[in-house]
Chain A
Amino acid sequence: NAGVTQTPKFRILKIGQSMTLQCTQDMNHNYMYWYRQDPGMGLKLIYYSVGAGITDKGEVPNGYNVSRSTTEDFPLRLELAAPSQTSVYFCASSLTGDNQPQHFGDGTRLSIL
């Protein structure tokens, strides 16, 4: 099993551009999550999904959108990139949402200039 795979690993965007961060997992997990990690801070939840077709906002959803058309994939979209979205983005998954360990991908380091 590859676990949770994120692409790309690094990306530089110009202000106002859009892009999609890809996340896929091969563990047949029902729950998937997107976090952002800023320097010296913990991880903040952007969006999560409890299954295909179901998504919900986390703590910091503004400026982002998600979709979950399959169990495996949970892409995160930035429509109008802003400097405040410069961060490291981590995707995670868990078998269920109830007291289950979350498994993280390697992250995407995104810079908005």
Chain B
Amino acid sequence: GENVEQHPSTLSVQEGDSAVIKCTYSDSASNYFPWYKQELGKRPQLIIDIRSNVGEKKDQRIAVTLNKTAKHFSLHITETQPEDSAVYFCAASMGSGYALNFGKGTSLLVTP
């Protein structure tokens, strides 16, 4: 399938700082970009998503930006808290629109 590259693979920040995770995709037909949070041993849970007709979306401390020309999108978490510690996955819809290509994940650690 088409690749979704995600960076960094690990990220450690202090409580209160911001965290940024970046993803690039290669399928120009991709038009839906969700972000999932997965705590250890749990299911992936959708935290925010963006569609290609929107450049930025915000939900409280979480925001996502999308640059379709450059084929990259980013997750921004402000005022991080220890409970934000988890693995975060970006994804991009496949050209068929039926399923998602996932990045390999970013392990975020927020230290008090």
Contact = CB atoms under 8 A, between A and B. Distances in A.
Interface in B53-92: 89, 91
Nearest to B94: A45
B97 A99 contact: yes
Contact of A99 (B1, B32, B45): B32
B44 interface: yes
Given A50-B98, A99-B97, A104 B51 contact: no
Contacts of B101: 45
Contact of B89 (A33, A42, A106): A42
A106 B100 contact: no
Interface in B89-112: 89, 91, 93, 96-105
Of the four ranges (under 10, 10 to 19, 20 to 34, 35 or more), the interface on chain A belongs to: 20 to 34
A101 interface: yes
Interface in B28-44: 31-32, 34, 42-44
Nearest to B44: A104
Contacts of A7: none
A45 B98 CA distance: 11
Contacts of A102: 34, 46, 100
Contact of B44 (A40, A48, A90): A90
B107 to A, nearest CB: 9
Contacts of B32: 98-100
B32 to A, nearest CB: 4
Nearest to B42: A106
A90 B89 CA distance: 14
A43 B42 contact: no
Nearest to B102: A42
A101 B98 contact: no
Contacts of B49: 101
A106 B97 contact: no
Given A58-B1, A90-B44, A98-B97, 14 more contacts: A35-B102, A41-B105, A42-B4, A43-B89, A43-B100, A43-B102, A45-B100, A48-B98, A90-B43, A97-B96, A97-B98, A100-B32, A102-B100, A104-B44
